[in-house]
Structure 1
Amino acid sequence: MNLSVIIPACNEEDTLPLILDEVQKLHPLEIIVVVNGSTDNTKQVAEKYGCKVIEYAEKLGLNIGRSMGAKAAIGEVLLFLDGDIPVPHKELLPFIEAIDEGHDIALNDLSWTLKRKVRPHPVAVAKYALNLFMKQEQMSVQALTAVPFAMKRTAAETLGYALHAEPPLAQVEAILAGMSIVAPAVVDVIYTNKAREAHQEKIENSPFPLSTSEIIGDHMLAIHHLIEKKGVRGGLTDAERNRLYPKVYLPKRPEKIACSAIIPVGEEKETIEAVITEVKKAGVEEIIVIANGSDDETVQIAKSQNVVVIEFSEALGHNIPRAIGAMCSSGDVCLFIDGDIVIQSEDLLPYIKAAEQGVDVALNDLSCLLDQVYPLHSVSAAKYFLNIALKRPDLTINTLTAVPHAIRREALEKIGYDSLMVPPLAHVLAIKNGCKVEQVHFVDVARTNRIRRDHIKVNGIAKSTERILGDHIEALALLLELTDHRGGFPRKPRRLDLLEEFLNENNTNQENLTNE
């Protein structure tokens, strides 16, 4: 078998023999151990087993050893392991066989981690969200971040050896290149992973330990690359959203009132009267219905309720009416709901009261769904990752995407009314502008939402899901613009200078061999 096994290792003299005993049973062409920053006998152990050793006295940093090992390998199949997680050789065979069968990359199938009845770890959310943004929902949390994985050497060359130091970035490039990626086996590296200081090391102004922060930053870098390649929405649909909606509105009323309600409607004749009735019972003084592409009956019912009705003959697209309604409103607080979900007045009042008491953005608290729905829904994953990227994991899956929510007028003026066209974008602006954003009350709009045509999956993804995922990529694009290519997440020093030097030296050696 033309196999090269690549193992970065730092102070792994205890576990490395266990790993090498199993790897030797695969009868590889070579085993490459990249020893870096070790102060124990890791190098001596590797040499005892006849491994090819690449040694550096200093620590190279996360994943640099992978890149060096891949460049140095001569096998047609590359198998990547870590120096601290022994894996039985029989569990490694499916990864090698998958490459022999013609696939480019074989990943560890960790999808089972999302099916556990526990809230997902931020790293799992990041991996899942990245795959979703690439329209690869079936990949779940499978990622080049986790060992073991195998790769064709030709695939490694195509990606470029330097890219292996940034696994999420390499994964984006592999998917964009149309490589065949499979997950042929399950190897538990979650419960067997060795605890390290970086797993608990606190960093300033972050709710995450250093190791988690680094991986989140790696995923933000990958998303930045996706945006550069495919545009601000990552190539995902905007669902015919009319962002150039007519700039003609009702004048804002001069008198100030306490609360306005904004209700977009399409064909909502069955629900609109009940929706308005509950809003009135909540004591809302101004109710604005934005009818866009609505049927006549819905419009007439709304008008009969003695509320403000703004009519557009054509559908403006998702969330455009929110922006229009907010612009036309005069309340100190704006309550946003939909015309197709009847919400009882007692469930609307908490949002209004929270805003009146100083919460700038009062969100629907859907966090309980994390304890009821397994695995994590794709839209929930996007919302959760956005809050993780904003360093607000306390908000979990709660963003301005879901109604009901309330926003204070001062906050609307800060974030701009147009931002409401893309709710996650408004969410980012609210948090980055220092607004007080809190989850205040649970209303189940996930399981009571009416099933529409765009909710049905076509070619693996529903149009509504793709639109919402695109909204979150657009929001992340803004966050990247406001911070840096890693979203403001730190990274321990990685010896990219030594990697570049190593890659150049090996290129020179290969050229010399070719000339000879």
Structure 2
Amino acid sequence: MKTMKRKHLSTKRAVRSSGSSTRSASTRLNRPRVRAAAVGKKRMVSTIAQGPDYLAGAADGKAWRSDPAFQPGPEAVRIAIRERWSLRFRETKRNNETNWALVRRRGLNYAAGFMQGSGARAAVTPVPLNGKAAAIVFAGMKEEPLRQVLDQLQALPLDDVVIVASNPAERLFALARGFGNVTLVSVPEPLDADVGRALGAKLTGADTILFLDGEQAVSADQLAGFIWACQWEMDIALNDISAQMGLFRKRGGNERLFEFLNVSLQRGDLKINTLSALPYAVSRRAIESLGIGALAVPIKAHAQAILNGLRIGIGGAVGGHRQRRGTRSDWRRAAGDHAEAWREAFDVRGNRLDFADWTRNRSLLGDWEP
């Protein structure tokens, strides 16, 4: 009985469908057009995937594969893509091509074509370089967080990865040896993280230096934006944490100091973003302007960078790096660092930091100084 009922319902639906008089001729005529539109969309997607960067990558990958010196392996693939993509980007870059999202898409298309043409695969995040890039990491005592950080860095086009650790365990040395371009620097005594990163920066001559937290991994895709910014646009690429600000009354004391420092130096557009929030990247020009030692006190280096007229902007927005409220001693230290930054600013711009005094006519005093 159940079977018969199903057949009856099916037949009934078929009759309704075929015998309906409400279907208009225009509806039937529109059906081929919908199909044509769908086919056109598929062709458009296929064209994007097979665009000039993809095709160039496929040709380069095929040529690399046929080279007598060809050596397979993920690291060899990454190096080959890095060198050839940087060269192609320089040759095809338009003057106004500064949008990282578009550049990133081009790089991914090229890498996909290269791996298709070569038949080799690797985890790679293509960034067109105009020089060398390096990463500086201050490591904690735990092995697994550092491994996660290095796994992400491995996909980036880095010449050097310098890890600075305070009296590290032997297992950290074993971990570092598993990555080809990693140097582990062991400091026997306890070391402040900012000082450790500044020390690591002395050991590389790269044109762009990326500074990272060794206990919090950030995806290679996010880090790539910082490298791009300092290679082609900026001297300092900051981490944008302004989305985490919230109401002023709910902010921590450090965040209020960060914002006040930027406003007082006439860079209110930076909001609470400073060199105190990892990750960030700096150019060789910034290093030469500030000096390596300045990076040991990031907030003071930030103020100096503004005073020196360096190009400072946003390299990306990495969440989870909100400044902790910390202890009273942490707050006092942060306040002291900011005091140093303002003292530096007063020496350069005067006691009013170039803000005009609209209520007092000091010119009546002539050359008198208080």
The TM-score by the shorter chain falls in which range?
A: 0.5 to 0.7
Task: Determine the structure 2 residue equivalent to 1:380.
Answer: 255
Q: Does 1:390 align with 2:256?
A: no
Q: Deviations over 1:137-180 (max 9, x none)?
A: xxxxxxxxxxxxxxxxxxxxxxxxxxxxxxxxxxxxxxxxxxxx
Q: Deviations over 1:84-140 (max 9, x none)?
A: xxxxxxxxxxxxxxxxxxxxxxxxxxxxxxxxxxxxxxxxxxxxxxxxxxxxxxxxx
Matched to 1:273, the amino acid is R
Q: Does 1:418 align with 2:293?
A: yes
8 Å contact kept, 1:266–1:315: no
Q: Secondary structure at the match of 2:304?
A: helix
Aligned CA distance change for structure 1 residues 497 and 489 (closer, same or farther; 3 Å):
closer
Q: Does 1:324 align with 2:202?
A: no
Matched to 1:349, the amino acid is A
Higher strand share: 1
Aligned CA distance change for structure 1 residues 346 and 496 (closer, same or farther; 3 Å):
closer
Task: Determine the structure 2 residue equivalent to 1:133.
Answer: none
Matched to 1:341, the amino acid is Q
The Cα of 1:373 is off from its aligned counterpart by 7.6
Matches within 5 A, 1:101-250: none
Aligned CA distance change for structure 1 residues 269 and 365 (closer, same or farther; 3 Å):
same
8 Å contact kept, 1:336–1:405: yes
Give the structure with higher Rg (CA).
2
Aligned CA distance change for structure 1 residues 372 and 495 (closer, same or farther; 3 Å):
closer
8 Å contact kept, 2:278–2:321: no
Distance in 2, Cα, partners of 1:497 & 1:436: 34
8 Å contact kept, 1:272–1:302: no
The Cα of 1:282 is off from its aligned counterpart by 2.2
Q: Does 1:273 align with 2:185?
A: no
The Cα of 1:472 is off from its aligned counterpart by 1.6
Task: Determine the structure 2 residue equivalent to 1:262.
Answer: 136
Matched to 1:285, the amino acid is D
Task: Determine the structure 2 residue equivalent to 1:491.
Answer: 357
Q: Does 1:283 align with 2:142?
A: no
8 Å contact kept, 2:139–2:213: yes
The Cα of 1:341 is off from its aligned counterpart by 0.7
Task: Determine the structure 2 residue equivalent to 1:143.
Answer: none
Find the partner of 1:366 among 211, 227, 241: 241
Q: Secondary structure at the match of 1:325?
A: helix
Matched to 2:231, the amino acid is E
Matches within 5 A, 1:501-516: none
8 Å contact kept, 2:138–2:193: no
8 Å contact kept, 1:268–1:339: no
Matches within 5 A, 1:425-440: 425-440=300-315
Find the partner of 1:471 among 311, 314, 337: 337
Find the partner of 1:445 among 290, 307, 320: 320
8 Å contact kept, 2:176–2:184: yes
Task: Determine the structure 1 residue equivalent to 2:45.
Answer: none
Aligned CA distance change for structure 1 residues 370 and 274 (closer, same or farther; 3 Å):
same
Aligned CA distance change for structure 1 residues 348 and 391 (closer, same or farther; 3 Å):
same
The Cα of 1:366 is off from its aligned counterpart by 0.9
Q: Deviations over 1:162-214 (max 9, x none)?
A: xxxxxxxxxxxxxxxxxxxxxxxxxxxxxxxxxxxxxxxxxxxxxxxxxxxxx
Distance in 2, Cα, partners of 1:258 & 1:380: 33
The CA RMSD over aligned residues, in Å, is: 2.5
Matched to 1:380, the amino acid is E
Matched to 1:282, the amino acid is L
TM-score (norm 1): 0.43
8 Å contact kept, 1:291–1:299: no
Q: Deviations over 1:212-265 (max 9, x none)?
A: xxxxxxxxxxxxxxxxxxxxxxxxxxxxxxxxxxxxxxxxxxxx9520000011
Q: Which runs of 4+ in 1 moved over 4 A?
A: 495-498
Structure 1 spans left out of the alignment, 5+ residues: 1-255, 499-516
The Cα of 1:438 is off from its aligned counterpart by 0.3
Q: What is the number of equivalent residue pairs in this alignment?
A: 234
Q: Deviations over 1:337-374 (max 9, x none)?
A: 01011101111011001111121100001111124785
Q: Secondary structure at the match of 2:143?
A: coil
Find the partner of 2:280 among 402, 405, 427: 405
Q: Secondary structure at the match of 1:445?
A: coil
Matched to 1:287, the amino acid is V
The Cα of 1:301 is off from its aligned counterpart by 2.2
Distance in 1, Cα, partners of 2:253 & 2:358: 31
Aligned CA distance change for structure 1 residues 300 and 393 (closer, same or farther; 3 Å):
same
8 Å contact kept, 1:294–1:315: no
Find the partner of 1:482 among 348, 354, 357: 348
Distance in 1, Cα, partners of 2:289 & 2:363: 43
Q: Deviations over 1:263-287 (max 9, x none)?
A: 0113132300110110111222210
Distance in 1, Cα, partners of 2:159 & 2:259: 34
Q: Does 1:355 align with 2:221?
A: no
Task: Determine the structure 2 residue equivalent to 1:305.
Answer: 179
Q: Secondary structure at the match of 1:278?
A: helix
Matched to 2:149, the amino acid is V
Q: Secondary structure at the match of 1:288?
A: strand
8 Å contact kept, 1:411–1:435: yes
Aligned CA distance change for structure 1 residues 355 and 495 (closer, same or farther; 3 Å):
closer
State the identity %.
29
Distance in 2, Cα, partners of 1:441 & 1:290: 24
8 Å contact kept, 2:145–2:214: yes
Aligned CA distance change for structure 1 residues 495 and 261 (closer, same or farther; 3 Å):
closer
8 Å contact kept, 2:280–2:315: no
Distance in 2, Cα, partners of 1:273 & 1:420: 25
8 Å contact kept, 2:259–2:273: yes
Q: Secondary structure at the match of 2:256?
A: helix
Task: Determine the structure 2 residue equivalent to 1:127.
Answer: none
**More relative contact order in 1 or in 2 (CA 8 Å, sep 6+)?**
1
Q: Secondary structure at the match of 2:144?
A: coil
Matched to 1:473, the amino acid is A
Q: Deviations over 1:285-322 (max 9, x none)?
A: 21010112434433432333331111111122231112
